[in-house]
Amino acid sequence: MTLPSGAVRFETPRGPWVVRVEIADTDESRTRGLMFRRNLPQDHGMVFVFPTTEEHSFWMHNTLIGLDMIFLGDDRAVLGVVTAAPNTDTLRSVHKPSRYVIEVSAGEASAHAIGPGTRAAFIDIPE
């Protein structure tokens, strides 16, 4: 399944960070996420666009790589970041209502100083 793509630009204390993302905006693409991938290039990921703002939880079933999950509110400000080990069914959340979640390789969010309040802008991502 080939997904549409776009980018997310984070305004960080270390300067802008642009992540090329695949757009998961259907139930099917959100359910599959990054399952079965063996690698994820640096500065690449997936944005999950949900139809509603609510507390979203993620698991890592059949996900072969560790990921950072960056939860964003309606205003595209970071609510929190969760790092998840591969192949686990533990539900992960920031326990706050979010509208978007960006997944990147584990460690990238901290390497770019992404944390609560960091602002993000969408490029070529329909809403």
pLDDT tens-digit series, residues 94-109: 999 999 999 999 999 9
As given in the structure block, the two tokens for residue 88 are 């686990």
- Tell me how many domains the chain contains: 1
Q: For residues 33-51, give the mean pLDDT.
A: 96
Q: Which domain holds residue 116?
A: 5-123
pTM above 0.85, yes or no: yes
Q: 81: closest CA among 72, 22, 23?
A: 72
105-116 average pLDDT score: 97
**Neighbouring C-beta atoms of residue 51, cutoff 10 Å:** 10
What CATH number is associated with residue 10?
A: 2.60.120.1140
